[in-house]
Every structure is written in structure tokens, then in C-alpha cells.
Chains A and B, each alone.
Chain A
Amino acid sequence: MSEHDVLNPKHMPHDPEKATLEGKNKFMGFWFFLGGETVLFASLFGTYLALKDSTNGGSSSEELFGLELVFIMTMLLLTSSLTSVYAMYHMKNHDFKKMQIWLGITVALGLGFLGCEIYEFYHYIHGYEFTMRSSAFGSAFYTLVGFHGGHVVFGLLWIIALMIRNAKRGLNLYNAPKFYIASLYWHFIDVVWVFIFTVVYLMGVL
């Protein structure tokens, strides 16, 4: 397949994200990366579980966490996962415009999630003086949840960059793998969040 065919395909294949060798390699390599990310988050979860009771006389998880906000955040992120499935659905139907719209909704929901998280951290720091340095529990909490938040920021910047960069290009075999990989990353962020809301928040207030 020549470079011209990749950028201006006459017919779009069924799986545009895996039609080129580059796309196949990205797909394979990205899953390998996600395996590594799993280990990285596991070490942060393990650290959190080991240190969550070391509050140094400060606020404990029962005093801090409010489930209402966490529930809203969960719904936002879970819904954004579905909207990115919709985006990939339209990508496979070669409907670039609809894909962009659904990616836009995904970004909006992700920003909503991020706003809630910033509010939450602000609330803990100013309302409870619960900071990264106040206790081992604080360090473990902010490292784990903050690292996830950092992934959300990166995922949002990634998707926004792809949307803007390709806005006038339309869909081709060169950028289809990029969109697909970004959506996989976004789903992975939700996977990590499922464990955060279960292990950190729900088990934290029990």
C-alpha cells in the first residue's frame, strides 16, 4: 500500500485502524503498554492499601470521603467511555463528522470529571488540611488518585490534539489507528477508575 493510498484511500477497509502495518504495530504495542500501565497502577494501589491507615493523627478516609461526588464522577467517566465507543463505531462506518462529535462529547464529560476532582482535592486541602505531606495516607492517596487524574489530563489533551490536527483532513488509514489507540487509552482510564472508586472510596468509608 503506497503512502498516497494510505492518506487517500479509495475504499475504506473494515478495520481502518489495522489496515496498515503501522496501524497493526501501534495496536499491538499499545496493548503491551497497557499491560505495563496495569503494573504501574498496581504498585500505587498496593502502596495505598499498605498505608491507608497511617493517618498521623489527621483525617481518616471515613471522615474525608463523600460518596455523592464520587458517584457523579463515576457516572461522568463511565458515560464518557460509552461515548468513545460511539466515536469508534462511527469511525468504522467512515463517518468522520459524527466521530468528531462523539469525541467532543467524550472530552466534555472528561472535563466534567476533572473539574469534580479538582474541587475534591481543593476541598480536602482547605477544608481538612489533608495534603500530600500531612500523612502517609495522604501521600498514598494523592499519588494514586492524582496519577489517575494526570492520565485523564493527558487523555483529554491527546484526544483534543487529534481532533484539531485532523479536523480538515478527514479520516484516512494514517490517522484511523491514532484515533483508535486514543480511545483504547480512554477506556483504560475508566478501568483504573473502577478500581479506584471501589478500593479507595467505597472500601474507604465502610
Chain B
Amino acid sequence: MADKVSGTTDQFDFEKQKRKDEMKQQVITFSLMIIFTIVAFSMVEAELDKLFVIPVLLVLAAIQVGFQIYYFMHMSHKGHEIPALMFYGGVFAAFLTILALVVLVWW
């Protein structure tokens, strides 16, 4: 556990600067998420073709969620291998669940 303790203030300052840079990246991520949301809402308001809008909406949502998980929830950081495995295990089961329930009422 000793290696995880920041020994010197120099090291702490270095880490602090690193975190500051990362925080800037988080704000950019946030702005992109806002833009995606606005695009999604305006596409629906514009009443474009349904078959075109629905797939685009789903892709925009998936990208937003990816941002949220990888940046806001720090999954892009080291040490998230097992959390990622567990989470994607859940996503896989979620996919099967939705598929089953939607296919049941397909016709």
C-alpha cells in the first residue's frame, strides 16, 4: 500500500496538474453530450423520416452513454478490466432481454 501514498509535494502537484488537464477533457465531453442531445431533439422536432431518425437517435444515445461510462465514470482509466467485464456481462444480458421481449410482439 505504501507505493500508493504520495510521498512528496512535487509528485502531488504533478498529479494535480494531470487531474486538471483531465477535468478540461471532461468539460469537452460534457459539451459534446449537450450538442448530441440538442441534435437528437431538433431532429425529432424537424419531423424527418422515421426510418432515418430512429437509428440515428439510437446511435447518438449509445455514443452519449459511452462518453458517460468511459469519461465520467472513468472506465477509460487503468484497473477497470474486471468492472468492464461485469458491466458488459450485464449489457449482454440486457440485449437478450430486450430482444426477447420485442420479438414476442413482433407480429
B-binding residues in A (CB < 8 A): 1, 11-15, 18-19, 27-28, 31-32, 34-39, 41-43, 45-47, 49-51, 67, 71, 74-75, 78, 81-82, 85-86, 89, 92-93, 184, 187-188, 190-191, 194-195, 197-199, 202-203, 205-206
Contacts and interface: CB of A to CB of B under 8 A. Distances in A.
A1 B54 contact: no
Per DSSP, are chain A's interface residues mostly helix, strand or loop, or mixed? helix
A194 B67 CA distance: 11
Nearest to A54: B105
Contacts of A188: 73
Interface of B: 1, 4-7, 15-16, 19, 22-23, 26-27, 30, 33-34, 37, 40-41, 44-45, 50, 53-54, 57-58, 60-61, 64-65, 68-69, 72-73, 79-80, 82-84, 86-91, 93-95, 97-102, 104-105
A203 B53 CA distance: 9
B91 A74 contact: no
Nearest to B22: A89
A191 B68 contact: yes
16 contacts: A35-B89, A36-B90, A39-B90, A46-B100, A49-B101, A50-B102, A50-B105, A51-B105, A71-B37, A78-B30, A85-B26, A93-B16, A184-B73, A188-B73, A190-B68, A191-B65
Given A89-B23, A206-B44, A35 B87 contact: yes
Contact of B65 (A13, A15, A42, A195): A195
Given A46-B98, A49-B101, A50-B104, A206 B45 contact: no
A82 B68 CA distance: 9
A187 B27 CA distance: 15
B86 A19 contact: no
A173 B82 CA distance: 22
A174 B105 CA distance: 49
Contact of A81 (B72, B80, B93, B100): B72
B1 A42 contact: no
Given A81-B72, A202-B41, 14 more contacts: A13-B6, A19-B4, A31-B84, A32-B86, A35-B88, A35-B90, A38-B87, A42-B97, A74-B37, A85-B23, A86-B23, A191-B69, A194-B65, A198-B57
Contact of B72 (A14, A85, A203, A205): A85
The 3 A-B residue pairs whose C-beta atoms are closest, nearest first, are A35-B90, A46-B101, A42-B94
